[in-house]
Amino acid sequence: MDDISYEPIRRERILGFDPVGAGFGFVILEIDPLQLVDWGVARHSPNATEQREDAVRKLLELYEPTAIVLEDVRETRLLRRNALNVFTETTAELLSQSGVPVYRYSRQEIRLAFERSGEFTKHGIAKVLAAQFPELESRLPRPRKVWESEDPRMSIFDALSLVITRLVSSRPSPRDVARL
């Protein structure tokens, strides 16, 4: 009998991160067929660099993504920009060592990606995503009032909106994570 060796099938998986002050939301989306593999919110204290790096490292090792997507911080408001900068500064070396291309998209690019849905707000886009991925329906927060803080679960939908933007984007090349 001939020896037959099998190569494991390498699936295309996109890992989306949405940093918030006390952690980050993430999604793993597998392509062909399009399906959510995992999602959640990793919580830690804002200064817990080791916890953040460990959580990111575990996601990279467990899911072996073929692309990583982050929000482009240049056009974000100051408080949001600070959370993104802390995440990027503490994970930049880890992400660059992974060898996985990192893509960045602004909130404006996300809105353009969802233009056909007619939704432009974060909550409207999250409703579209919950309809597309029913497994997330129970995670969809209610619309927040102006005086309320954003529900941490919204970071799951923000991470997914970044991944979907990557799928529909015409930009061919990744932006280097070290240039943030």
Which CATH number goes with the domain that contains 156?
3.30.420.10
Whether 176 is covered by a domain: the verdict is: no
pLDDT surpassing 90 at residue 180: no
Q: Measured between alpha carbons, how far is 47 from 26 in angstroms, rounded to an integer? A: 19
Total count of domains within the chain = 1
Whether 4 is covered by a domain: the verdict is: no
Q: Which residues contact 53 (CB under 8 A, 6 or more apart)?
A: 90, 91, 94
Predicted TM-score (pTM) of this structure: 0.84
pLDDT (average), residues 16-44: 90
Q: Which domain holds residue 57?
A: 13-169
Q: Measured between alpha carbons, how far is 84 from 76 in angstroms, rounded to an integer? A: 9
pLDDT value of residue 81 = 63
pLDDT 10s digits, 81-138: 666 677 777 777 788 888 999 998 988 999 999 998 888 899 999 999 999 999 999 9
Cβ contact 110:161 at 8 Å: yes
